[in-house]
Structure formats: C-alpha cells, structure tokens
C-alpha cells in the first residue's frame, strides 16, 4: 500500500465515525429530533431523523472532496495534494468535522446541550492548529488570509500569514483555555465572538497597512 493511499485511508477512518455512531443510535432516536439549540442549550429547532443521514456527508465528507478539488482548479497552482502541509490541513479539518458531526448527533439523541464548552474548546483547538500552518501556505485563492492586498502582493501575503499564524495560535489557545475555565454558556459564546473578530480583522487590517507601506 502506497503512502498516499495509506494517508487517505486513515482520514477516511475518521470521516466514517459519524455514520458508525449514527447507525448505533438510530433505533434510539425519535422520529423528530432537535437540530438547533439556543444559548441555554434548549432545543428550538427540529427535523426528521432522516435529515441526520445527510449531515456527515455535507460536512466532513463534503469538505474532504472539496479539498481534493481545490488543487485542480487553483489558478496559481500553489496547492498540491502531494504537499505534506496541505494534507495536514485536510486531515485536521476532516477530524474536526468528524468530531463536530458526531457531537451534533449526540445532542440530537440527548435532546439538549448541557455545556457549550466542549464545542468551543474543539473550535479553539482547530484555530490553533490551522494557525500553525498559516505561515507555510503559498499564495492561492482558496486557503489562507485572502484579502485584495495579500492576493496582489506576494510579500504582503507572507508577512500577513506570518502575523496571522501567531494571532490564530494565541486566539485558538485562548478560546480553548477559556472553554475549560469558564462554566457559563453565554460567557463562552461571548469569548468566542471576541476572539473570532480579533483573529479575522487583525490580519485583514495588517495586510492593508503592509501593502500601503510597500507602495
């Protein structure tokens, strides 16, 4: 078995976990299951349980095939399926969406969310992991901090991603730590929104400033 096939097989083992779990709990699910919850963890939206069949396919498996296609349609040809760093990004996104989908299935069975900290902790971990790979991403139209200024100037791209890498790692670890220490859904959600705004807008603003400074 080639290394490439072996790596894809490992990723697929994670991708099918939600379907294995869904098969296990299928007979325990009511015909109408909760699929949306408010900040108090109470269900405020419902769907037929058949809806859950499409959930793993639209998230983890859907992202998997999208990431396979992107290198083929990237005009800059800087994305490659042979690149270990690109595989790492694909792998961690696949694992994240597999865990997220399984968690959603679990909440549909439980009928409520007792604590959002688990969800936001996973999101914080994903931010930190992706941030670790930002500094190595080559200019492209699909992955990374894609602003008009980073796409226009390669120097701005690398400078922005070098800064963005640090911001995402710190923000992700901050969210992860906050989700452990804060035992309040509303406060954890507020922390998530604050960190999300920081990791999004700081790199955007920096890319504009760096571009203008270069000109």
Q: pLDDT tens for residues 70-106? A: 999 988 889 988 889 999 999 999 999 999 999 989 9
41: left (phi over 0), alpha (psi -120 to 50) or beta: left
Specify the number of domains making up the chain.
2
Q: pLDDT tens for residues 25-49? A: 999 988 888 877 777 677 777 888 8
For residues 106 and 128, state if they share a domain. no
For residues 144 and 215, state if they share a domain. yes
For residues 93 and 134, state if they share a domain. no
For residues 93 and 122, state if they share a domain. no
pTM to 2 decimals? 0.88
Of all residues in the chain, what percent are helix, strand and coil, respectively (each to 5)? 75, 5, 20
For residues 71 and 28, state if they share a domain. yes
**Residue 33 CA to chain centroid, in angstroms?**
25
Q: Work out the mean pLDDT of the chain and round it to a whole number.
A: 91
For residues 92 and 79, state if they share a domain. yes
pLDDT given for residue 185 in this prediction: 83
57 or 22, higher pLDDT: 22
pLDDT given for residue 184 in this prediction: 84
Q: pLDDT tens for residues 125-174? A: 999 999 999 988 999 999 999 999 999 999 999 999 999 999 999 999 99
For residues 100 and 148, state if they share a domain. no
- Please say which residue of 71, 91, 114 terminates a domain: 114
pLDDT given for residue 1 in this prediction: 63
For residues 72 and 57, state if they share a domain. yes
- CB contact set of 165 (below 8 Å; sequence gap of 6+): 131, 132, 133, 134, 135
- Please say which residue of 84, 114, 144 terminates a domain: 114
For residues 24 and 104, state if they share a domain. yes
Q: pLDDT tens for residues 58-73? A: 888 999 999 999 999 9
Domain that residue 148 falls in: 115-215
Q: What is the DSSP letter of 58?
A: I
Percent share of the chain, pLDDT over 70: 98
In the block, tokens 């991403």 appear at: 137
For residues 166 and 205, state if they share a domain. yes
**Per DSSP, what are the bridge partners of residue 43?**
37
């Amino acid at each position: 078995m080639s290394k490439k096939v072996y790596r894809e097989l490992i990723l697929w083992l994670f991708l099918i976990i939600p379907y294995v779990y869904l098969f296990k709990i299928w007979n325990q699910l009511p015909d109408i299951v909760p699929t949306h919850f408010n900040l108090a963890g109470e269900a405020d939206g419902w769907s037929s349980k058949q809806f859950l069949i499409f959930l793993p396919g639209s998230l983890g498996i859907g992202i998997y095939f999208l990431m396979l296609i992107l290198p083929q349609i990237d005009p800059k040809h800087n994305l490659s399926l042979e690149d270990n760093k690109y595989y790492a990004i694909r792998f961690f996104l696949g694992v994240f969406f597999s865990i997220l989908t399984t968690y959603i299935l679990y909440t549909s069975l439980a009928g409520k969310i007792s604590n959002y900290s688990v969800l936001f902790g996973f999101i914080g971990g994903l931010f930190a992991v992706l941030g670790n790979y930002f500094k190595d991403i080559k200019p492209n139209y699909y992955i990374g901090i894609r602003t008009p200024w980073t796409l226009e100037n390669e120097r701005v791209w690398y400078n922005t991603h070098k800064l963005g890498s640090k911001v995402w790692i710190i923000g992700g670890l901050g969210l992860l730590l906050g989700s452990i220490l804060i035992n309040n859904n509303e406060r954890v959600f507020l922390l998530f929104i604050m960190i999300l705004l920081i990791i999004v807008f700081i790199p955007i603003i920096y890319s504009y400033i760096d571009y203008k400074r270069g000109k």
